[in-house]
Amino acid sequence: MTKTFPTSGTEWQALDAKMTEMSCTDIDWRRGRAPLYVFHGSDGAYEVGFQAFMKYFSENALGGRRAFFGLKRMEDEVVEMGLDLFQAPEGAVGNMTTGGSESIFMAVKACRDWARSQPRLKPPYNIVAPFTVHAAFNKAGDVMDIEVKRLATGENRRADVAAMAAAMDEGTIMLAGSAPCFPHGVIDPIGALSDLALARNVWLHVDACVGGYVAPFFQRIGRDIPAFDMALPGVRSLSADLHKFGFCPKPASTLFYRQKDDRERGLFHFDQWPNGQFSTATLSGTRAGGAVAAAWAVMNHLGEAGYMDIARQLAAMTDAYVAGIKAIDGLHLWAEPDLTIINFGAYDLDIFNAAEGMERRGWLPGLTRNPKGMQAMLSMYHEAGREDYLADLAASVQEAQEQGGGSDLKAVY
C-alpha cells in the first residue's frame, strides 16, 4: 500500500507520536551505537547550536546580501574564524557550504575553471589522489567529466606521493589529500604534496572535512599532528566540515581558497533570465539560515578553550578504545589513528562475521572493504557506551572465531 496525499490535516501531537513510532527501530545513536552520521562534542555546544538554529529557522542564507544582514555577518565571521584556525595567508577567502561534498564540488569546479586558463593543461582533465579520498571527488568528477586517478597508498596507509608524482600527466589539474581520510583516519603527507603541487604548478586540495575542526586542537593539546593546513604554501584550497567535529548542526561546511581569484572561479554567475544577475558560491541556492547562525554560535560558545577541552576528552577516549581493541585477541588496528577515527580487522577470522555479531547486539558496525575491517568515527556519543562496545566486540570476535567461514555482509554507505 503506498501512501496517498492526505485529504485532511493532522495536529502536531498526533504527528509527533507517529514520527516517534516510525523511528522506533532506529539505531540507538544517542547511546553511541552509530559509528558515523552523528557527532557530539558537549551538551553546551548541542544546546547553543539548537537554540541558534531555531532562532534563524526561517531565514535563508541565500538572501544574506540583500535581506538577512545579520546572517551575512555571521557567515563572514565563521569564514574568518576558519581562515585564522587554518593559518591562511593574507588575502585568503572562503565561504560556507552545506556539506563536505559541496565544498569538494566547488573546489573542483574552481580548479577546473582555472585549468581552462592554462594552455599547458590539456583536457580530458584528471585528479590524482590516494584511493582513500572521499567518494565526493568522483561525484564532482562525474558531473564535470574529470577522471579521478585513485592510487594505492604507501606507508601507514597514507598517500604515496612518489606514485602520485609518477601518475601525473598533462591532463592533471589537481592533487588531493585528506586530513585525515575517512576510511583509516590517518593524515596524508600534505607537506610533501604541497611541494609537489608547487613544483608542477597544479592545484592541491586538502580535504579536512572530517578532521579539520579537531586536528588543530589535537595539536594544541600536544598530540603529534603533521602539518596539513594553509600554512603550507602549496595548499590552494581546503574543505572542513562544521557539522562533523566542529560540533555544529547540519548542514554546515566551510571551503577556503588561498587566493581571491580562485573563489571567483568557484562562483556561479548568470544573468540571462528575467531576474537579472544571479550569483552563488555554492551548488545550492536556498540555504538554511539556521545552520549559519548555529555555526557562528557554537564556534563562539566553545572558543579555542572549549574545543581544546573536547579534544582532550576525545583523545583520552580514543586511546581507551585503541587499548581495548588491542587487548582483544585476534584484532589488529589497520592504522594508528591520528585523530578519532579507528579502523581495525583480523588475519585469522572474517571480521565481517564479528561485525554481524555487533549488529545482533544492537550496534551499527562501520565497515571498510579494503582492507576488510570495522571502523568508527568516535565522538563524545561514544564515551558512555565504550565498555559495552568493547565487551560486545570481544564476544563477537570469539563467536566469529568459533564459527569460522565467511560473511555475506556488504560494506554499504
Positions touching ligand PLP (CB under 6 A) are 99-101, 104, 134, 136, 178, 182, 207, 209-210, 241, 253
Span between the terminal Cα atoms of the chain, in Å: 28
Q: Which is nearer to ligand PLP, 253 or 343 (CB)?
A: 253
Confirm if 368 and 313 have CB atoms less than 8 A apart.
no
Q: Which is nearer to ligand PLP, 45 or 240 (CB)?
A: 240
Cell of 263: 573563489
Nearest-approach distance from CB 193 to ligand PLP, in angstroms: 15
Phi, psi angle pair for 260, to nearest 5°: -60, -40
In 3D, which of 403, 366, 371 has the Cα closest to residue 34? Answer: 366
Q: Which is nearer to ligand PLP, 157 or 328 (CB)?
A: 157
Q: Which is nearer to ligand PLP, 186 or 197 (CB)?
A: 186
Pairing of β 366-369 and β 372-377: antiparallel
Rounded Cα–Cα distance for residues 340 and 393 (Å)? 18
Q: Which is nearer to ligand PLP, 101 or 353 (CB)?
A: 101
Nearest-approach distance from CB 143 to ligand PLP, in angstroms: 14
Confirm if 340 and 314 have CB atoms less than 8 A apart.
yes
Nearest-approach distance from CB 241 to ligand PLP, in angstroms: 5
Confirm if 254 and 94 have CB atoms less than 8 A apart.
yes
Beta strands in 179-271 (DSSP E): 203-207, 237-241, 253-257, 268-270
Q: Which is nearer to ligand PLP, 177 or 345 (CB)?
A: 177
In 3D, which of 376, 369, 409 has the Cα closest to residue 392? Answer: 376
Nearest-approach distance from CB 20 to ligand PLP, in angstroms: 26
Nearest-approach distance from CB 37 to ligand PLP, in angstroms: 9
Nearest-approach distance from CB 349 to ligand PLP, in angstroms: 28
Residue nearest ligand PLP, CB atom distance: 100
